[in-house]
Structure 1
């Protein structure tokens, strides 16, 4: 038997070691190849996951935006609902007030009808008393007028009821009565003319007395006949202005009178009487500074349903004013 060679044993060991190393290297190589493929798969999965996450985030943002819009719409709808409820409450309240007002108006209508019937009865009962012709004695002095006046201011109602419907000029009867009053005072120191609203009827003469002479009287009557300005049916402003602007307290010789020509009064008598007490008080001798007279025309008393109550108010007011302020009230029965 041949002895074993040590060199051969060494070669065999090295070869086995080479095989083992090669196999291990192959395994490592396979592992490396496998890991690279797995990394690609992982990266691909990661990318897909990121896309899915981004999509979900986008969807969530869209849902949040929609939720915000829905919440805003809900708030707007709630505000509109509240406004509608508020309007409904206001409308109900308004309807209740209107129903109450309607009830009051109906009750007032009934009261007015009763009052109208009472006024008709009053007009009928007082018609004879008002129909008093302005009687002029031989000297053309209206009964009861203060003869001592030396300054006279005329206040005219120039509203439509005091005018001729065909010409829009003052009624001829009114001009005639004005002429009668002027003729009753042949010698006075001053004269002036105002309409019911307090406007001076002759241009350029506000606040001053006109010298009384035949030319002034003729010119004034011509102006009055064709006076174009329509006044309200309320002579009170004209009376107040005549007293305030024309009366001269320092003129000891002045004995001023106001003559009112009209047919209607639309206000209340009590404030007028109270104001006249302030601006036209009594002097130490008991007389008023200014006497106030009135001539009433029956232009509206003929029509009880249209304006007779304003005619009655004028007559009642001016009789009271004339009585308290040293004057006279004359009611004209016929008006041509």
Structure 2
């Protein structure tokens, strides 16, 4: 017997399909909504972090720039400090040098002060002597000079001050001295450096004739060798060239100032050249004539003139001569 088949209810199948589709759609919507929420959440979390990193990077770059500037400023300050240290070191060296110079100058000043005091005393004595004698004429000025010599050497300062202010007077005094020696065996003329007026007669005596005396006076007009205003060289060369034990020789030193070193050193140097071994008497007489250029000419150097007077007075005294200090540059002829 056949079983009767139950009829299929189509509505229930369709309903299930609809329910399934709806459920699937809901699930899909939930998945989509969840994904969008997660994405939005990630973006909302990521954006502030990225901005913070950017700000930090900018701050880092800014700090690096400021650090570089500070480093440059520091280097500049260190260079300035180094320059200041060098400047301080140089100033200390200069200060030490100045202190050494002050100490040296103090010693020199002491020596020069002693020499000036000596010169002032000598000049005072000389002025008193001249005042006591009154106003002497030319022949009296050279009076008192021993005239026992047979040979004469003139050592003349040819510096600018002598040539410019005293040269006519120098010529006149040269003539006066020659006049008190009517006849000698030999004459020679040198400057204070030992340079000869007549180089062809170097180391030899000029014959004493009227013509030779006139030639000497005429040559004085043009004779201008270099001078250092110190008679030491001329005196030494004259003694070395012309001294002889059988000759009576006198040196006449003309000058107006002394710009050399120590007066005592000059005196000792001349003593060594002009002393005989074992004897106190000098080899040659040394007479000195002082011209008052720096006492009368404008801008004169009183200090060097005073030192010259002190030196010449002592030099003539030690070497058997006479010091004559003139009180005028005017010619009397």
1:94 aligns with 2:87: no
Secondary structure at the aligned position of 1:192 is classed as strand
Secondary structure at the aligned position of 2:95 is classed as helix
Q: Aligned pair count? A: 246
Judged with a 3 Å threshold, the aligned counterparts in structure 2 of structure 1 residues 90 and 327 are, in CA distance, closer, same or farther, namely farther
Judged with a 3 Å threshold, the aligned counterparts in structure 2 of structure 1 residues 261 and 134 are, in CA distance, closer, same or farther, namely farther
Relative to structure 2, which stretch is displaced further, 109-118 or 277-286? Answer: 109-118
1:142 aligns with 2:138: no
1:221 aligns with 2:214: no
Judged with a 3 Å threshold, the aligned counterparts in structure 2 of structure 1 residues 152 and 111 are, in CA distance, closer, same or farther, namely closer
Secondary structure at the aligned position of 2:293 is classed as coil
What is the distance in 2 between the residues matched to 1:176 and 1:303?
19
Correspondences of 1:16-165 after superposition (within 5 Å): 92-102=88-98, 128-131=124-127, 132=130, 135=136, 142-164=142-164
1:296 to 266, 273, 290: 290
1:311 aligns with 2:314: no
The Cα of 1:150 is off from its aligned counterpart by: 0.4
1:196 aligns with 2:207: no
Q: Mind listing any 5+ residue stretches in structure 2 that lack a counterpart? A: 1-77
What value does the CA root-mean-square deviation take over the aligned residues? Answer: 3.7
What is the distance in 1 between the residues matched to 2:304 and 2:138?
31
1:333 aligns with 2:324: no
The Cα of 1:144 is off from its aligned counterpart by: 2.6
Report the counterpart of residue 71 of structure 1 in structure 2. none
Judged with a 3 Å threshold, the aligned counterparts in structure 2 of structure 1 residues 286 and 126 are, in CA distance, closer, same or farther, namely closer
The Cα of 1:248 is off from its aligned counterpart by: 2.3
For the Cα contact (< 8 Å) 2:119–2:307, is it kept in 1?
no
Report the counterpart of residue 51 of structure 1 in structure 2. none
Secondary structure at the aligned position of 2:201 is classed as coil
Secondary structure at the aligned position of 2:154 is classed as strand
For the Cα contact (< 8 Å) 1:157–1:261, is it kept in 2?
yes
Please identify which structure carries the higher helix content.
Answer: 2
What is the distance in 2 between the residues matched to 1:320 and 1:119?
12
The Cα of 1:184 is off from its aligned counterpart by: 1.0
For the Cα contact (< 8 Å) 1:257–1:293, is it kept in 2?
yes
The Cα of 1:106 is off from its aligned counterpart by: 6.9
Normalising by structure 2, what TM-score?
Answer: 0.63
For the Cα contact (< 8 Å) 2:116–2:306, is it kept in 1?
no
Q: Mind listing any 5+ residue stretches in structure 1 that lack a counterpart? A: 1-80
Report the counterpart of residue 41 of structure 1 in structure 2. none
What is the distance in 2 between the residues matched to 1:110 and 1:247?
41
Report the counterpart of residue 255 of structure 1 in structure 2. 248
The Cα of 1:92 is off from its aligned counterpart by: 3.8
What is the distance in 2 between the residues matched to 1:271 and 1:114?
16
For the Cα contact (< 8 Å) 1:134–1:331, is it kept in 2?
no
For the Cα contact (< 8 Å) 2:116–2:307, is it kept in 1?
no
Judged with a 3 Å threshold, the aligned counterparts in structure 2 of structure 1 residues 106 and 280 are, in CA distance, closer, same or farther, namely closer
For the Cα contact (< 8 Å) 2:148–2:248, is it kept in 1?
yes
For the Cα contact (< 8 Å) 1:151–1:255, is it kept in 2?
yes
What is the distance in 1 between the residues matched to 2:120 and 2:271?
32
Normalising by structure 1, what TM-score?
Answer: 0.62
For the Cα contact (< 8 Å) 2:141–2:324, is it kept in 1?
no
